[in-house]
Amino acid sequence: MHAVIKTGGKQYRVAPGDTVKVETLGAEVGQQVTLSEVLAVSDGDDVKVGAPFVAGASVVATVVGHGRHDKVTIFKMRRRKHFQKHGGHRQNFTELRIDSIA
């Protein structure tokens, strides 16, 4: 059984037992989170696609932890103009373990 969920402006394909890193959620470690924005649910050959969301579908997940991704280096340069700009960014994430798809 698989589902496509939407959280943090991104879409993720999840199955029970999967671990996925999503945009930061305001939940404590060990707390259960219900994700109700389910775009599609697949159970073998039976596929339900929502418009935009599947009615009555939800995904239950447990917060495993919070963290930060690796640093992304930004370097901009204009040749022959003495312009160089350095920057960096580390995005926060919440790690979820998918418990069930209802």
Structural domains counted in the chain? 1
Residue 55: which domain range? 2-101
92-101 and 59-68 beta bridge pairing? antiparallel
pTM higher than 0.75 for the full model? yes
Spans of the chain below 50 pLDDT:
none
Q: Identify residue 60 by its one-letter amino acid code.
A: V
Assigned token pair, 57: 């579908």
Please give the Cα distance from 7 to 86 (Å, whole number). 31
Strand partners, 21: 95
